[in-house]
Amino acid sequence: MNILVCVKAVPETAEAELEISRSGDAVETDDLVFGINEWDAYAVEEAVRLKEARGGTITALSLGGDEAEDVLRRALAMGCDEAIRLEDDELAGSDPATVARALARAIEVRGLEPDLILTGVQSADTGYGQIGVLLAQRLDLPHATLAVGLELEPDAGRIVVQRELEAGTLERVELPLPGLVTVQSGINRPRYVSIMGIRKVRSKTIEQLGVDDLELGKVGPAAAVWSLRTLSLPPAGARAEMLEGSLAQVCARAAEIVREKGGRR
Contact footprint for other proteins (CB under 8 A): 12, 14-17, 31, 33, 35, 78, 189, 191-200
Q: Could you tell me the smallest distance in angstroms from the CB atom of residue 36 to other proteins? A: 10
Q: Could you tell me the smallest distance in angstroms from the CB atom of residue 204 to other proteins? A: 13
> With b meaning 16 or more CB within 10 Å and e meaning fewer, what string describes 55-88?
ebebbbbbbbeebbbbbbbbbbbbbbbbbbbbbb
Q: Could you tell me the smallest distance in angstroms from the CB atom of residue 32 to other proteins? A: 8
Nearer to other proteins, 196 or 248 (CB): 196
Torsional sign, CA 214, 50, 73, 71: positive
Does residue 109 contact residue 214 with C-beta atoms inside 8 Å? Answer: yes
Nearer to other proteins, 32 or 180 (CB): 32
Nearer to other proteins, 49 or 110 (CB): 49
Q: Could you tell me the smallest distance in angstroms from the CB atom of residue 11 to other proteins? A: 11
Nearer to other proteins, 114 or 190 (CB): 190
Q: Could you tell me the smallest distance in angstroms from the CB atom of residue 17 to other proteins? A: 8
Nearer to other proteins, 196 or 225 (CB): 196
